[in-house]
Amino acid sequence: MIRIILHTLAFPALLWLERHGGPRLYPARAALAWYAIGVPIMAIEAAVSGREWFKTLIQSLIIALFFLPAAYFSFRYSDGGRRGIWKPFLLFLLLSVISGFAAAAVLARAPEVRGKPS
């Protein structure tokens, strides 16, 4: 849960940096930067999760892919930081809820992969 909160808070941090003289990234690059910021957070979560850390990491990376369109459209809406931080962030949260339902619907139908019995 902490990983999700930290990764979500990276979005307004990127908007804040852009607004206060940081690098101005195109929406696609900004969304990929947001995804890349989350990779180390996901790796730490996977490392502390136990024996199946690789499966946990891959699962987190795949689930985060569902949220890239939400980040892209929110960065596109932000208009280079001129609209402030809160409106694009609230749009990101709304689109993330929709993306979460889409990820749950798709992954609920995914086949189960069974490893070797322990």
114 inside domain = no
* Average of per-residue pLDDT across 72-100: 85
Has residue 118 got a pLDDT over 60?
A: no
CA–CA distance, 77 with 80 (Å, rounded to integer): 8
The per-residue pLDDT for range 17-52, each reduced to its tens digit, is 888 888 888 889 989 999 999 999 999 988 888 878
**Six token digits for residue 112:** 């189960």
Answer whether residue 62 is part of any domain.
yes
Q: Tell me, what's the pLDDT at 81?
A: 56
Confirm whether 117 is domain-assigned.
no
Residue 52 lies in a domain: yes
Contact 81, 15 (CB under 8 A): yes
- Domain annotation covers residue 96: yes
Contact in structure between 117 and 77 (CB atoms under 8 Å): no
Confidence of residue 104 (pLDDT cuts 50, 70, 90): confident
Total domains present in the chain:
1
Q: Do residues 42 and 58 touch, judged by C-beta distance below 8 A?
A: no
The pLDDT score that the predictor gives to residue 46 is 87
In a domain, 23, yes or no: yes
| Cβ-based neighbour number of residue 5 at 10 Å | 10
Say if residue 95's pLDDT is above 90: yes
**pTM score:** 0.79
- Angle formed at CA 103 by CA 27 and CA 30, multiple of 5 degrees: 15
| Domain of 15, in residue numbers | 2-108
The pLDDT value recorded for residue 93 is 92
- The token duo for 41 is 């957070």
